[in-house]
Amino acid sequence: MRYLYEITSFPDKVEDYNLTAYTEGTLRLLVGSVVFLDASGILLVEFAIVLKKWLLSLEGGPGDLYYASMDFEEEPILALRYNATQGEFLPESVWAKSNPSPICLGEAKSAADAYLAELGEELRKKYGADLNEVLEEAMR
């Protein structure tokens, strides 16, 4: 499992909620080599906040990830539904491009961590923005 993204729109100012509300791009979810989700106009920092909160919630045990956006009425953009019997997540999206394939907890966590690291690095290098600062503020 891997999240791929491309920033297509970035705010002039990163203060307040601008980074969260105006950093847009495409988001793809690959499960193995299969594209499960390929969506544009996604608020990439907003998605990062949802991923970070989900990762923190996993400390209490596996649970669902659910991402809906302030920019879209349809939902979920992406959900990972945890099946306790199987011990796996099943992806779900209103814009799914393929049938869902089960994902193990380790793979789901690793993909979320990689997305946060890669987006954070790109925001820092290209735009001088601090994703960790935004994530810390959102966790308060």
User: Closest Cα to residue 54, out of 71, 66, 46?
Assistant: 66
Q: Convert the pLDDT of each residue in 110-120 to its tens digit.
A: 999 999 999 99
Contact 25, 42 (CB under 8 A): yes
Please count the CA atoms within 13 angstroms of the CA of 10 that sit on its side-chain side.
11
Q: Convert the pLDDT of each residue in 16-37 to its tens digit.
A: 789 999 999 999 999 999 999 9
Domain boundaries, given as residue ranges, for the chain: 2-139
Contact 30, 1 (CB under 8 A): yes
pTM: 0.96
